[in-house]
A and B are shown apart, each in its own frame.
Chain A
Amino acid sequence: MSGLLPQGFWTRNETLVAVVIILFCIVATLSDPLFFSATTLTDLLRASIVLGILAVAAMLVLISGGIDVSFTAIAVFAMYTTTVFTLAVAPELPWFVIFALSIGIGACLGAINGIFIAGFGLPTLIVTLGTLSVFRGFLLTFVGSQRISALPPEMRDFSRMMITRGTTEAGNFYALPWAFAALVFVVVLTWFILHKTMLGRSIFAIGGSVESARRIGINVRATQFFVYVYVGALAGLAGIIHGAMGRMADPFSLVGLELSVIAAVVLGGARLIGGYGTITGTLLGVALIVLVQNSLIVVGIPSTWQSVTIGLLILLGTGLPAWQAKRAAARAA
């Protein structure tokens, strides 16, 4: 039986997180039979779109050996600026143009991170802590600080486009928006880049050892620059989807979420030292965090316990494999 599974399967973060998710679902279904329904599933999937895209972005940075805390500020900046611009200049723009605009703004802001990090070689945490504040402050000071609920009509329409919708036997409404396809697209694209291109393998390589990467001739600066631009673009996409689905452009939203996103990625097995991270793990981490955020109440834990629960899961989810590895090392010595 164990021969069918890859080596170390049971000690992986992915396995651990998946087991916790399954246990959570079993307990939730036992305490509320309605939990196990199309409604819950689509609710959770919908809640994981923005978090999922941001997590894939954060994972890419962790693999490259850096850490980015500015992506939420980029997301909200891109979303709000795009909305303000569209409303002022051409409110009738089709949704995909609006999306492209937000992605473009995100990529430009990411490029600013890239210039500091790849160009000047500054520490990633310090740069992105700085740009987090700068982007957010610039947005609130110069672009605006009003919540806008009258979005461009195409953005509103986008949020109403559904892959599937209907009513369950129990009479509950369920719907999965097309926005979910954006997450699928991001996952497939990122997977392809990471595993099938020299660029992606270079990202893993510099995460493993920058010095070695330089010595075998990898263009470390260009690779890092790409990472931060790509992360900016994904943040722009996540931001505009967040605005459209929430039917409101709120300049105060999203910022503050960055640590939850990084938590999801770390839960999924990415290491802060760089070089390690899987998309499966990241998505499982997102799923667990979304479950905790949305359904904690179902298993009888008050929702005020949310952040305590997430914190404990991080300690358990990252501490257990680390402890196992340490024990294995001690046994080997």
Chain B
Amino acid sequence: MAAATHDALVDMKGVTKRYGGVTALDGVDFTVHAGEAVCLAGENGSGKSTLIKILSGVEQPTAGTISINGTQHTNLNPRVSAAAGVMVIFQDFSLFPNMSVAENIAFSTQLGEHRTLFDLSRARKLAQSVLERIGVDIALDARVESLPVAHKQLVAICRALASEARLIIMDEPTTALTEREVRSLLAIIRKLKEEGVAVLFVSHKLAEVLEVSEKVFVLRNGKKVAEGPAAEFDAASLTRHMTGRDVPEAPPSAVTEGSKTLLDVENLTKVGAFADVSFALKAGEVLGVSGLLGSGRTSLAKALFGLVAPDSGTIRLDGEAFALGDPIAAASAGIGYVPEDRLTEGLFLTQSIARNIAVGRLDAHERRGFLDLGALMSEATDWLTRLKVKAPDPQAPVRSLSGGNQQRVALARWLSRAPRVLVLNGPSVGVDVGSKADIHDIIRDLARSGIGVIVISDDLPELLATCHRILVMKAGRVVDEIAGNSVTEDELAHRLAS
């Protein structure tokens, strides 16, 4: 064991970091060896970003020691850390969109040499040699802004290599990549490992990189909760360690016998998106709508709320038809819609949490032309507690919340309007595993209280955990209807794909 730590590339011992009263990292031991790929897993707030910041010298630990290449550093700063070969590739890659590929790769190297003059031909030569080293062909003079995401990531990797990286830390490396791009990234990582470069993947979605990794390291609430060879982990066990609970969720309890039909959709058609969609939703029922991307599920969801105007068909709520293609009519009839992309469609990111909830209730709190701000805000904060939103301050901007809490705020806005039917498009997209289960709890609770819920999703465990029935769409038509408690995940996957 002593020998193993001796030749460790990075060796952190008992590292603790406190911000004021909050302990972000608590006595964490962490080692990486040359040529090794390590997965650092953890949910948002588990301390993984703090660990990266300490390794890259951006933050100083409150206690503990860090050794790089056997040298113990007491005062690590970004420059020292970079000189020792620790390079971070941030999720946004930190490139210069307006500059060429060659400059992006070679600039920090020349900066490190404290030169006065910029040597373009040397920059090009260096960039070319690094690109060849990882076996990638990208035009040296192309502006980085014109490159696809996967190439930007490669440029960022090349930049790290150009500065003689010995440990490359990659923050959420696969989120923006297609499956094929992930595979070619993994091939490059294998090549780097053979050359003795170590790689640290930091993510809450690690199943994809497990196959190239030697070691897995899981953080939860600032503490190391699991560590071991990658072969001993799979997606399920990672989730269990990250959340600290066994996630198998209880399926929803059955719909009350004889509950009446709430929403009745008949022959809804929108040319080019969906055709002849008919279904009924009972009070207290959760109906899943699934299908592959482009199957028409999102257009259907939007049509229910009037964001897409159907060409023909009717939607009745409590037996009464309302104007189609008009979100205001849909909302006043009692339909709520939480969009898939909260960030651009659902929330006012820079506005406060309380205001984001209150905005849906402005009409209800009007008193002779003036707004009863006190009542409005106390109602909003009341919803924050009911949905267990972890917010330090209801006046803080929504942007400052985690994905799971943002989704709760979006839900709270609709719930405060007491909707009859709630359409949730991708309720747990971009939410971490723990909050996901909480959101599913909320959905089941809503149904129990008599609201009809429609969940649009391609996340099979989510559908099984929340839905009584699942409609499968393909090429704009409902091709299958499945009772939620009658299938396993594999069967559902099979029926979706067929």
Which residues 199-213 of A have a CB within 8 angstroms of B? Answer: 199-202, 204-205, 207-209, 211-213
Q: A217 contacts B98, CB within 8 Å?
A: no
Shortest Cβ distance from A274 into B: residue: B98
**With A205-B107, A216-B111, A217-B79: A197-B98 Cβ-Cβ less than 8 Å:** no
Q: B108 contacts A207, CB within 8 Å?
A: no
Q: A208 contacts B97, CB within 8 Å?
A: yes
A198 contacts across to B, CB distance below 8 A: 110-111, 115-118
B78 at interface (Cβ–Cβ under 8 A)? yes
Q: B111 contacts A218, CB within 8 Å?
A: yes
Contact of A275 among B97, B112, B159 (CB under 8 A): B97
Among B98, B111, B115, residue most surrounded by chain A Cβ atoms (within 10 Å): B98
A208 contacts across to B, CB distance below 8 A: 96-99
A331 contacts across to B, CB distance below 8 A: none
In the assembled complex, the CB of B162 is this many whole angstroms from the nearest CB of chain A, namely 11
Q: A216 contacts B94, CB within 8 Å?
A: yes
A228 at interface (Cβ–Cβ under 8 A)? no
Judged by DSSP, the binding face of A is helix
CA distance A197 to B115 in the complex (A): 8
B82 at interface (Cβ–Cβ under 8 A)? yes
Interface size grouping (class) on chain A:
20 to 34
A213 contacts across to B, CB distance below 8 A: 96
Among A211, A212, A274, residue most surrounded by chain B Cβ atoms (within 10 Å): A212
Q: B96 contacts A217, CB within 8 Å?
A: no
CA distance A141 to B377 in the complex (A): 51
Which residues 288-325 of B have a CB within 8 angstroms of A? Answer: none
Q: A216 contacts B108, CB within 8 Å?
A: yes
In the assembled complex, the CB of A42 is this many whole angstroms from the nearest CB of chain B, namely 36
Contact of B78 among A195, A197, A217 (CB under 8 A): A217
Q: B94 contacts A217, CB within 8 Å?
A: no
B110 contacts across to A, CB distance below 8 A: 198
B340 at interface (Cβ–Cβ under 8 A)? no
CA distance A195 to B120 in the complex (A): 9
Which residues 140-194 of B have a CB within 8 angstroms of A? Answer: 159
CA distance A199 to B108 in the complex (A): 13
CA distance A197 to B118 in the complex (A): 5
B11 contacts across to A, CB distance below 8 A: none
A216 contacts across to B, CB distance below 8 A: 94, 107-108, 111, 159
A-B contact pairs, 7 of them (CB 8 A): A201-B107, A205-B99, A212-B96, A213-B96, A215-B94, A217-B79, A217-B111
A residues engaging B (CB < 8 A)? Answer: 195-202, 204-205, 207-209, 211-213, 215-218, 274-276
Question: Which are the 4 A-B pairs with shortest beta-carbon distances?
Answer: A275-B98, A208-B96, A212-B94, A208-B98
